[in-house]
Structure 1
Amino acid sequence: MLKVENLNVYYDNIHALRDVSFSVGKGEIVTLIGANGSGKTTILQAVSGMVTPRSGKILFADKDIMHKPSNTLLPLGLAHVPEGRRVFAKMTVEENLELGAYIVKDKLQIADDKEKLFDQFPRLRERRKQLAGTMSGGEQQMLAMARALMSRPSLMIMDEPSMGLAPVLVQEIFNIIQVINQNGTTILLVEQNANKALQIAHRAYVLETGKIVLSGTGADLLKDENVKKAYLGG
């Protein structure tokens, strides 16, 4: 579904990504792990058209999206849940969801999708008329995920969904990610909580200073001694 080949990104003279290559197959959860500054978020931003790579190739559903503007990618089926949630704080939960469906012209589909998401996220139903900025971090993360789902993406990119959340909410967010995947959405996940991410990932890639240094199944990397020492506290 997504194929990235020899991707190089620079910020002025800083070589942020160095010949990065990886793939995400249909139906998978693929996670990228690594220390802060290793290039994880830059990869997501390159795929989403928010930064321009100097060289390489990005294919999504067999289409070259390397230099496509971000706003042209949502109709292709690619949605991005950014780091820090980025909900529209002064709009209600329901208005946020409706904005997530801005490419959808069928009002009946929008209404139907909202109801399905309210079933999946009961707390959002309870707060549908509440301003998004007044909700807790966990609730805002659920809203950001639900808002992305309103466009019915085939691939959802998620950047640090558990950041800043209490442990009980972290587990809930990871459960939701698995349900989204089981319902048919492919997921590319960047997550600082490497342990949780590897537990749910079909496959994973480890980044260090802009390079992929290790890859394998989530289960295999959980058992890898180097990964344990560097990222799992083992």
Structure 2
Amino acid sequence: MLEVHDLTVRYGNIEALRDVSLRVDEGDVVALIGANGAGKTTTLRAISGLVRPYRGSIRYRGQELTRLSAERVTAMGIAHVPEGRAIFANLSVQENLLLATYARRDRSRVQEDLDLVYSLLPRLAERRRQNAGTLSGGEQQMLAIGRALMSRAQVMLLDEPSMGLAPVLVVEIFRLLQEINRQGTTLLLVEQNARMALQIARRAYVLEAGRIVLAGAAREVASDPAVRDAYLGAA
């Protein structure tokens, strides 16, 4: 469904990614883990068209993405839930959700999708007229995920969805991601909480200093001694 091949990204003279290759099959949950500065966010930004690669290929359902605008990538069915959520604080919850439908042509189905988001996220339904900036951190993350769903994304790129959240909310967010995947959305998940990410992922990649150093089934990656020492801590 999504294939990245030999991706290199530079910021000036700094090489943020070098020859990164990964694949995401339809229906998958794929985790991308690594330390701060490893290049995880850059990988997602390159896929979604926010960063132009220096070299390499990004293909979605066989179509090359590397020269497409972020708007075009979104319209093709790839939604990016960025680190920090990037909600519109002065707009209501429902206005934030509806903003994600601007490029959709199937206007008759927008209400149907809004109802689906509210059924998945009843807390947003309760706060639909509330300004998004007044929501808690967990509710804002739910809103960011709900907004991606409103774009009818087939692939969701999630950047640190559990960052800054209390443990009970982290569990809730990961349960939500599992339900979204069960309903048919493919997930590529960047997450510092490697333990939780590897529990829900089917496949995983470990990124260090801009390079993929380990790849495989999530269970196998989680059992690797170096991964356990670096990212999982004591069992």
TM-score by length of 2: 0.98
1:80 match: 80
Q: Distance in 2 between matches of 1:203 and 1:211?
A: 17
1:49 match: 49
1:153 match: 153
Deviations 1:204-232 (A, max 9, x none): 00011000000111111121111000101
**How many residues are paired up?**
234
Amino acid at match of 1:127: R
| Structure 1 residues 204-219: aligned runs within 5 Å | 204-219=204-219
| Identity %, equivalent residues | 55
Kindly state the Cα deviation for residue 33 of structure 1 after the two structures are TM-superposed. 0.2
Kindly state the Cα deviation for residue 198 of structure 1 after the two structures are TM-superposed. 0.3
| Structure 1 residues 81-96: aligned runs within 5 Å | 81-96=81-96
Amino acid at match of 2:199: Q
Q: Distance in 2 between matches of 1:58 and 1:112?
A: 32
2:135 match: 135
2:7 match: 7
Kindly state the Cα deviation for residue 233 of structure 1 after the two structures are TM-superposed. 1.2
TM-score by length of 1: 0.98
1:66 match: 66
1:118 match: 118
Amino acid at match of 2:215: S
Q: Distance in 2 between matches of 1:190 and 1:106?
A: 30
| Root mean square deviation, CA, Å | 0.8
Kindly state the Cα deviation for residue 105 of structure 1 after the two structures are TM-superposed. 3.3
Amino acid at match of 1:121: L
Amino acid at match of 1:61: R
Q: Distance in 2 between matches of 1:196 and 1:126?
A: 28
2:222 match: 222
Secondary structure, in 3 states, of the residue corresponding to 1:198?
A: helix
Deviations 1:134-183 (A, max 9, x none): 00000000000000101111101000000000000000000000100000
Deviations 1:40-77 (A, max 9, x none): 00000000111111100000111000111101111211
Kindly state the Cα deviation for residue 107 of structure 1 after the two structures are TM-superposed. 3.4
Deviations 1:68-90 (A, max 9, x none): 11011112111100000111100
Q: Could you tell me whether the CA contact under 8 Å between 2:44 and 2:157 is conserved in 1?
A: yes
Kindly state the Cα deviation for residue 35 of structure 1 after the two structures are TM-superposed. 0.3
Secondary structure, in 3 states, of the residue corresponding to 1:145?
A: helix
Secondary structure, in 3 states, of the residue corresponding to 1:192?
A: coil
Q: Could you tell me whether the CA contact under 8 Å between 2:48 and 2:74 is conserved in 1?
A: no
Amino acid at match of 1:165: L
Q: Distance in 2 between matches of 1:158 and 1:107?
A: 26
